[in-house]
Amino acid sequence: MRLSSVFLSVALALLLAVPCCTPAQEPCKSGLSCTTDQVAAVHKPNGEASTESDAEPESKLGAVPDAPDAQGGTVSGTVTDTNGDIIPGATVQLDGASRTGQQTKTANDSAFFQFNGLKPGVNYHITVRAAGFDDWTSQPITVVAGQYLDMTGIQVRIASAVSSVLVYSSTEQIAVQQVQIAEQQRVLGFIPNFYVIYDSKNAVPLSTKLKFQMALHVSVDPVSIAGAAFLAGINQAADRPDYQQGLKGYGQRFGAAYADGLTDIMFGGAILPSLLHQDPRYFYQGTGTVKSRMVHALSNPFICHGDNGRLQPNFSSLGGDLISSSISNAYYPASNRGADFVFTQFALSTAEREVSSLVQEFIIRKLTPSANRNN
């Protein structure tokens, strides 16, 4: 016999055994008069409203709890510049599909930020703003429920629109910013054009560290190395200096061309300017008559700005050319050495500097994209 049949038999026996109700009470449908509580304990007629005592246990059994809300995602990151230095205090803005999804944070002392409660499946953008830097905007970001996304590669660049440094700061800080601007200057977008200052009215003297920094950056720049390789090819075709032909000869000419440039920039652009307290940069004039600008450019190899702001004989440039030509005696073929060779190279270097100054004054700026944006 099934258990349900046993329970049904016991319930029927209890129903027949209960005492009768008082005459004032309504009879049960079974023909017996019973109390309301006793009837409710066994069965309820069809269509009869449930009592409060019946409704409470029914609601506890039949209620279905609401589904919990989907868990949000989290996005975090650290703001740095292109050198990998952190940028504390940067403003970080999160934008969603609507304005209600916008959040703004300030990067902490470690340049760290975090956004919580991002809706899954929604496209977000991160925008980073910091004083003196261009805005940085991320690609679309989408998270799934419960995801913790740590963003990488958040690097802000120095503001390309900065034309001159007018902030009230120490001379050294201003010089650092001016060098950073100069190291963005490239002719046609790729040839280094670091040794010219277009904002010459606001120029400040460079520290020894910055002079060596600029010289080193020019020396190891891939375009400088490629230029030495190109010049070696020309010298190979012209069979000068008097090295042998073939691959070995080309290697010797490449080494000589690169060494010439390296010694010239290090002595004329860093060592002597540091010892003599002179500025190795070309100070762009840009205004005035054509004649005055030509005179300014042609005098550049012979007259320079001292670190004290006054014009001085350009011993750094002339001395650098002379020392570089003298050192070349150590690695040029014996047939190309001697005093005549040294002074011929010195004269050629000085003439080349005059021509390059003229080109710098009248042409190069137009071909330097960052200089056109910044000034």
Tokens at residue 43, please? 């069965």
Tell me, yes or no, whether 163 lies in a domain.
Answer: no
Tell me, yes or no, whether 367 lies in a domain.
Answer: yes
SS (H, E, C) 177-240: HHHHHHCCCEECCCEECCCEECCHHHCCCCCHHHHHHHHHHHHHCHHHHHHHHHHHHHHHHHCC
Given this model, what pLDDT does residue 301 score? 95
Q: What is the pLDDT of residues 13-24, one digit of tens each?
A: 443 444 444 444
The candidate with the shortest Cα–Cα distance to 124, out of 82, 72, 88, is 72
What gap in Å lies between CA 316 and CA 274, rounded to an integer? 9
Given this model, what pLDDT does residue 51 score? 43
Tell me, yes or no, whether 68 lies in a domain.
Answer: no
Please compute Rg for the chain using Cα positions: 43
Given this model, what pLDDT does residue 60 score? 37
**Neighbouring residues of 31: CB distance < 8 A, sequence distance ≥ 6:** none
152 and 177 both lie in a single domain: no
Residue spans of the chain under pLDDT 70: 1-70, 100, 160-169, 372-375
What gap in Å lies between CA 325 and CA 231, rounded to an integer? 17
For residue 98, give its domain range.
73-156
Given this model, what pLDDT does residue 67 score? 39
241 and 359 both lie in a single domain: yes
228 and 360 both lie in a single domain: yes
Given this model, what pLDDT does residue 111 score? 93
pTM equals 0.56
258 and 141 both lie in a single domain: no
Given this model, what pLDDT does residue 372 score? 60
130 and 267 both lie in a single domain: no
Count of domains forming the chain: 3
Given this model, what pLDDT does residue 42 score? 40
Given this model, what pLDDT does residue 71 score? 76
**Neighbouring residues of 113: CB distance < 8 A, sequence distance ≥ 6:** 76, 77, 78, 79, 92, 105, 106, 107
Given this model, what pLDDT does residue 159 score? 79
